[in-house]
Amino acid sequence: MMQQVAMTMTMQDMATQMQMPRTTKGAISIRNVTKIYDPEGVNVMAVDNCSLEIAPGEICMIVGPSGCGKTTLLNAIAGFHSITHGAIYLDGEMLCGPAKPKADESSDRVVVFQNGALFPWKTLVDNVAYGPMVQGRMTKAEARDKARQMLAEAGLADMTDKYPGEVSSGMARRAEVVRALINDPKVLLLDEPYRAMDALTKSIMHEALLEMYDRTKVTIFFITHDLEEAIFLGDRVVVMATRPARTKKIVNVNIPRPRTYKLLSSNEFRLLAEETKDAVHEEAIKAFEAGERELA
Amino acid sequence: MASNVSVTSGNSQMMGAVSTAPAGAKLWWLRTRKALRSPTPWLMTFGVVLWIGAYYVLSEGLQVWRFAKIPGPVAVLTDLLSKNPAWGLSIYTPDYYLHIGISCFRVFAGFAIATIVGVPLGLFMGWSIAFKDYTFPVLETLRPIPILAWVPLAILMFTGVETSVIFLATLASFFVTTLNTLLGVESIDKSYFRAAACLGSQPRHVFWHVVVPGAMPFIFTGLQISIAVAWFSLVAAEMVSGQYGLGYVIMNSYTTMTYVTMVIGMLTLGFVGWVSSALVRFAGNRMMQWHVRALALEGR
């Protein structure tokens, strides 16, 4: 019975993919965005005149030193806070701009958070089923069936009835990506999701993410510190200048997919890493010195 | 502790399957054996014996100074367990249970009212900044007023003895519950609200799926304190006005100089209060499996 449901689901998915390629949606256009915080009468510029075009279905990696304003940009796209100047468009529609500085929060732009934000009081299956249920797209039973199926596809079939506190951080993070993808979002916003993980777990997470990406071809806006991660996952790597954030350098990663971990030791990869590293290192030094000045 | 929990959860999932996880009486035996091997039950027993021993030595044993005037444990226990108590109250007299029953009823009523009003109030205060702005100054002004100071006002406000006593028992619990619930909502990580928002929630979903469960651990900590507070404010109320109840027993024995009965009242109150706190804790653990299991995995 369950298998039958799963079968028809995948057939439907295949059909929709063939008729209408998923890659036609999820274009983000960031145009001259500036964000100035003004907490106590002192202006702090977090993002300065930043522009970036992200193609539908692209994996766009944002790299830059800590506190450079990357997350500010992500929060503006998600609608968690407003922008001061400029505009952000999603598929030609203005999310936020001069007339409307704060975007509406919506399930077409789902965030996976830095420290993980699965609801600890819900089991994995209920966490994943939450989105479709509250949006009224599915009944609770339907949402849970779909959630079970998607968790199984992500290799979490045995974990569906556990609470987030009972599974490893890697599994929790994977479930969080599934919780985002069940909403069929146009854009997935990831804010250093694998930051606290060891290199081995990270590599497993990367392959799982790419697998999920291959199934959905969702646009991914991915913030990271990890250069290797950025090149391995991304179609493009955007190096940000330190605060205020601006695009400093964009590196195209023309390595065909599917990618495997053998890539990491290839010459191609090494050359890209070198190209990116100089730009990132320069900014890291600037950020570090700026930090020292702030303390002094 | 951790292994116990995983054993039960694994067992419920693998019903019918061949599994090595013990169940029923075997599981109970396993847990008992494990508990007996840990120092906890022995230390608890030792602590109780030490306390009673010190009490005995000071009062009946060596009769140290003013302690000689205190009824000792032997005198108290003899009277408590006697079919024909010298001072009128023992486990064989129906009055004993009447006092316990009436006090329990008042505490339960006060605790229930405080919970029914305090939890929603705290949730709304934490959820809506405007609502908190309206209510918080009033709450914070009324909160430090001791229960005894409310007694005259309660007598003026309510006609019967029962209503004013329940009002006083409610009052202290209410402040504890409200404040803890408010803190509970404020303790919820902001990213849960953001996650709920970007998953397409309406405000009511956020309330029921984030605010309420997220505040739950704090609420139950608050309820445990609240029921204890209900007990001691009840006693204050019963000392002033009342014809029954454990607080009345204590105060009445003091005025009639039946000190043995007074100590019986105190010990009974302590015991009943402990049981009621344990019941609240038990209910909380049943309602928050996610919290209990996470704590168990941390080895707590």
Domains and CATH numbers, chain B: 2-72 (no CATH), 94-297 (1.10.3720.10)
Q: What pLDDT score does A220 carry?
A: 92
pLDDT band at A282 (very low <50, low <70, confident <90, very high): confident
Reported as a pLDDT band with limits 50, 70 and 90, residue A170 is confident
Q: How far apart are CA A36 and CA A85, in angstroms?
A: 9
**pLDDT, mean of residues A28-41:** 81
User: Which helix (H) or strand (E) is A238 found in, with range?
Assistant: strand A236-240
In angstroms, the separation between the Cα of residue A123 and the nearest Cα of chain B is 8
What distance in Å separates the CA atoms of residue A201 and residue A155, rounded to the nearest whole number?
14
Closest-CA residue in chain A for B191?
A: A117
Do A165 and B191 make contact, defined as CB atoms within 8 angstroms? Answer: no
Test B297 with A166 for CB contact under 8 angstroms: yes
d(C-alpha A190, C-alpha A220), whole Å: 7
Q: Do B210 and A119 touch (CB under 8 A)?
A: yes
Task: Tell me if B294 and A165 make a contact (CB, 8 A cut-off).
Answer: yes
List the one residue out of B247, B225, B213 whose CA is nearest residue B111: B225
CA torsion sign, A14 to A16 to A17 to A23? negative
Average pLDDT over every residue of A155-168: 88
Assigned token pair, B230: 């209900």
- Residue B159: what pLDDT? 80
Is A169 in the B-facing interface, judged by CB distances under 8 Å? no
How distant, in Å, are the alpha carbons of A2, A62, B208, B217 from that of B190?
37, 23, 16, 17
Measuring CA to CA, how many Å separate B80 from each of B220, B235, B262?
34, 20, 11
- Rounded distance between C-alpha atoms, residue B178 and residue B184, angstroms: 10
Q: How far is A111 from chain B (nearest CA, A)?
A: 7
The per-residue pLDDT of chain A, averaged, comes to: 82
Dist. CA A236–CA A272, nearest whole Å = 11
Record: contact B194-A113, CB cut-off 8 A? yes
pTM comes to 0.78
Under 8 Å CB-to-CB from B58, ≥6 apart: which residues? B64, B67, B70
Apex CA B17: angle with CA B16 and CA B21, to 5°?
100
Residuewise pLDDT in 10s, chain B (300 residues): 344 444 444 444 444 444 566 777 888 888 888 888 888 888 888 998 998 888 888 887 787 787 777 788 877 787 777 777 777 777 777 788 888 888 888 889 999 999 999 999 999 998 888 888 898 989 888 888 888 888 888 888 888 778 888 888 898 899 999 999 999 999 999 999 999 999 988 889 999 999 999 998 888 888 888 988 888 888 778 876 667 888 888 888 888 877 888 888 888 888 898 899 888 888 888 887 777 777 766 655
Query: In the structure encoding, which two tokens stand for residue A145, read together?
Result: 């069936």
Which domains are present in chain A?
32-108+188-296 (3.40.50.300), 112-184 (no CATH)
Tens digit of each residue's pLDDT (9 = 90 or more) over A226-277 = 888 888 888 898 888 877 777 878 888 888 877 877 788 888 888 888 888 8
Helix H or strand E encompassing A208: helix A199-216
Nearest CA to A220 out of A82, A97, A74 is that of A74
A113 vs B: CB within 8 A: yes
**Which of A126, A166, A186 has the most B C-beta neighbours within 10 Å, making it the best mutation to test the interface with B?**
A166
CA distance A122 to chain B (A): 7
pLDDT tens string A72-86:
888 889 888 888 888
A87/A34 Cα distance (integer angstroms): 9
Q: What is the reported pLDDT for A40?
A: 67
Alpha helices in A56-183 (DSSP H): 70-78, 124-134, 140-153, 169-181
Provide the chain A residues 178-197 that lie in CB contact (below 8 A) with chain B.
179, 183
Q: Which residues contact A58 (CB under 8 A, 6 or more apart)?
A: A219, A220, A235, A236
Q: Nearest residue of B to residue A126 by CA position?
A: B209
Query: Per residue in A71-125, pLDDT tens?
Result: 888 888 988 888 888 889 888 888 888 888 888 888 889 999 888 899 999 999 9
Closest Cβ–Cβ partner in B191, B209, B213 for A117: B191
Among B205, B196, B145, smallest CA distance to B175 is for B145
- Comparing alpha-carbon positions, the chain B residue that sits nearest to A109 is B198
How large a percentage of chain A has pLDDT more than 90?
Answer: 15
CB contacts, 8 Å: A134 with chain B: 199-202, 205, 209
H-run or E-run covering B245: none
Mode of pairing for the β-strands spanning A219-224 and A187-191: parallel
Continuous segment of H or E residues that includes residue A80: none
| pLDDT category of residue A222 using cuts at 50, 70 and 90 | very high
Query: Chain B: nearest CA to A119, how far in angstroms?
Result: 7
**Residue-level pLDDT at B13:** 44
Whether the CB of A102 is below 8 Å from some CB of chain B: the reply is no
Q: Report the pLDDT value the prediction gives residue A217, as an integer from 0 to 100.
A: 86
